[in-house]
Amino acid sequence: MKKQAFNPYLPSWEYIPDGEPYVFGDRVYVYGSHDYFNGCVFCMGDYVCYSAPVDDLGNWRFEGTIYKKTQDPLNQDGSMCLYAPDVTVGPDGRYYLYYVLDHVSVVSVAVCDTPAGEYEFLGYVHDRDGVRLGERPGDEPQFDPGVLTEGEVTYLYTGFCGAGDESRHGAMCTVLEADMLTIREEPVFVAPGSCYSQGTGYEGHAFFEAPSIRKIKDTYYFIYSSQVMHELCYATSKNPTKDFVYGGVLVSNCDMHIDTYKKAEMTVAYGGNNHGSMVEISGKWYIFYHRQTNGTWYSRQGCAEELNILPDGSIPQVEITSCGLNGGPLRGEGEYPAYLACHLFTEEPSIYVAHPGWPKITQDGRDGDEINGYIANIYNSTTAGFKYFDFQGVKKVALYTRGYGTGTFELRTSIHGEVLGRFIMHNTNIWTRYEQEVSIPDGVGCIYLTYVGHGNVQLRSFELITE
- Catalytic machinery residues: 18, 209
Q: Is the peptide bond before 234 cis (omega within 30 degrees of 0)?
A: no
Give the C-alpha separation, 179 to 452, whole Å. Answer: 61
- Distant-in-sequence, close-in-space partners of 54: CB < 8 Å, separation ≥ 6: 23, 26, 27, 28, 281, 282
Side chain identity at 42, as an amino acid letter?
F
* 8 Å CB contact between 390 and 428: no
Say how many C-beta atoms besides its own lie within 10 A of residue 323's C-beta: 24
Give the C-alpha separation, 221 to 285, whole Å. Answer: 13
Pairing of strands 231-237, 86-89: unpaired
Residue 301, SS3?
strand
Q: What is the DSSP string of 207-247?
A: EEEEEEEEEETTEEEEEEEETTSSEEEEEEESBTTB--EEE
* Cβ-based burial of 308 (10 A; exposed 0-12, middle 13-18, buried ≥19): exposed
Q: Is the peptide bond before 8 cis (omega within 30 degrees of 0)?
A: yes
Side-chain-side CA neighbours of 338 within 13 Å: the count stands at 31
* 8 Å CB contact between 380 and 452: yes
- Answer positive or negative: Cα dihedral of 396, 402, 407, 409: negative
Side chain identity at 171, as an amino acid letter?
A
Residue 310: phi and psi, rounded to 5, are -75, 165
- Our CA dihedral for 19, 445, 363, 319, rounded to 10 degrees, sits at 30
Residue 18, SS3?
coil
